[in-house]
Amino acid sequence: MAKELGVSLSRVTVLRQRPEFPDPIGEIAHGPIWDLDVVREWNQSGLRRSGSGRPSAAEARRTLGGRFVIEDETIGHGGFADVYRAVDKKNGAMVAIKILRNVEGVEHEAIKRFQRELRIMERLSHANVVRVLAQGETSDGKIWYAMPLAQGSLSDYVALLKGNPALIVDIMRQVCTGLAYIHSEGIYHRDLKPANVLRLGTSDDEADSWAVSDFGLAVMVERDTDPLTSTYRQGMGSWIYTAPEQWRNARSANDLSDIYGLGKILQELVTGEWPVNAEIPPGIFRPVIERAISDSPSSRYQSVAEFIDALDRAVGARQDHEAWETREEQAERLRDRLLGRPSAEDLVEVLDWAQSLSEREKDDMAALVRVLPWMSVSSINYLWERDSQALFRIVERFCSYVATEIFSFEYCDTLANFMQRIVLKTGSPAALGKVVAALARLGAHHDRWHVRDILVGILQKVRTQDEAVEVVEALRSIPILEARWSVTDFTLRTLPVSIRAGLGEILAKAS
């Protein structure tokens, strides 16, 4: 090595201590070994200063960690950092340098935690995780870290991905793979969003490779500044991807908060719009997104692996059936599954299928009401325990359709019996309200006494104030003559006092 560099052995020892000196490629008993071709390239590229003396003051100011020479102009800004292009003197590669700012109000311990996390990230290596090449502090105390220079972020490609489910799934798998690796190392991201998923590679001809970046950076700064409702938070542009529990207490962010972020990223890729609400369009991805962005952490996927499995299941169902089955054929196949002894996999498939249907498409809802009424008590119990929010959304769409459509007399009874099972087995006041409104309208439209008997039986069993409120609001929300058909004067006298008080006046006017 001394001969290659044209220096003495003692000078080699000095050069090896420089931050930009090439890394060794291995270790033997006598110490590290180098690839002389790499050393020769470093020596001849101008990365090693050929002149004598110290670097100029201007260059010294622009050199971080003795290794990265940054350009004067920034190439990007965030709510908490400036991004610069820089040359890595170790190998001549172009890299990105992020310099953290706006940390004056952050507690000293928070800064130390973030620096510890950066040191951990330096040791990690995964194709779908942006590597931290080095980190440190500037001369005026600002934190910086270096990473490979990317070709843009996922936020730059959102418009191109809408309507391309295969490519969306490929990208999400890469993001999930990187995130799962980070979680396995005991690290949570805490700020997942498309801007923090970078496209790597050296040219447009290469296969796209996507990697997660910026671990914990935003949240670490936020958690020790003023309240999260401040304009500082809004300026970062992260709030729509942030889990509710993280808003309430930033320190509570964990792997389930990251699952929420995955759901919001998927929502944006599917819709092509900022995921500012929970209104997910119908389709194969709706079940996955709705579960991932549940307000309750316990209702989300409990690991990245579960999220990936759900994605694979959604795409698999489309490939297996949607290419050749009509909605009617799908309904017949799934109804037959429910009539037998459905497995857990059967029930999950029914749940996902039902969530993917469009409440605005009559064929979709007609298929739904051909399947759901054949769900047994045990099946309802299983799905309610597994994902109560998903089942509630399906029941809500089911009830809205049943309330306005025409059915045969016999099928009216089948529909009513199913809705009775939903009320009895879920114990949900919200589901109770949806069912009551649907039964009242269904019975009145068809003059079906069995439907009325089911409704009256449900009303007579109301015990709590929450249930009574839902019932009264439900019956007040429908045409008054339809409510009057179901609740006669005699029936009203048999109902709990809280319901009588809420309905007495309005029903009297109908008389």
Known catalytic residues are 191
User: What are the CB-based long-range contacts (under 8 Å, 24+) for 422-425?
Assistant: 422/380, 422/395, 423/458, 425/377, 425/380, 425/381, 425/384
Count how many Cα atoms sit within 13 Å of the Cα of residue 175 in the half-sphere of its side chain.
29
Element (H, E) at 325: none
The answer for residues whose C-beta is within 8 angstroms of residue 126's C-beta and 6 or more apart is: 177, 178, 181, 182, 211
Sign, CA torsion 431/434/437/442:
negative
Q: In what order do the strands lie in the sheet with 143-148?
A: 63-64, 68-77, 81-88, 94-100, 143-148, 134-137
Q: Which DSSP state fits 450? A: H
How far apart (Å, rounded) are the C-alpha atoms in residues 271 and 159? 9
How far apart (Å, rounded) are the C-alpha atoms in residues 19 and 21? 6
CA 68 vs. chain centroid, Å, equals 35
User: What are the CB-based long-range contacts (under 8 Å, 24+) for 449-455?
Assistant: 450/412, 450/413, 450/416, 451/412, 451/413, 451/415, 451/416, 452/485, 452/486, 454/416, 454/417, 454/419, 454/420, 455/416, 455/486
Q: How many CB atoms lie within 10 A of CB 441?
A: 23
How far apart (Å, rounded) are the C-alpha atoms in residues 126 and 434? 49
Q: How far is CA 406 from CA 400, 422, 424, 446, 453, in A?
A: 13, 21, 25, 8, 19
Q: Which DSSP state fits 321? A: I
Coil, strand or helix at 198? strand
Q: Which of 334, 449, 354, 426 is nearest to 397 (CA)?
A: 354
The answer for residues whose C-beta is within 8 angstroms of residue 48's C-beta and 6 or more apart is: 15, 42
Q: Contact, 247 vs 228, CB < 8 A?
A: yes
Structural tokens at position 137: 């502090």
Q: How far is CA 426 from CA 159, 389, 441, in A?
A: 41, 11, 22
CA-atom Rg of the chain in angstroms: 31
Structural tokens at position 264: 């919001």
Q: Contact, 392 vs 380, CB < 8 A?
A: no
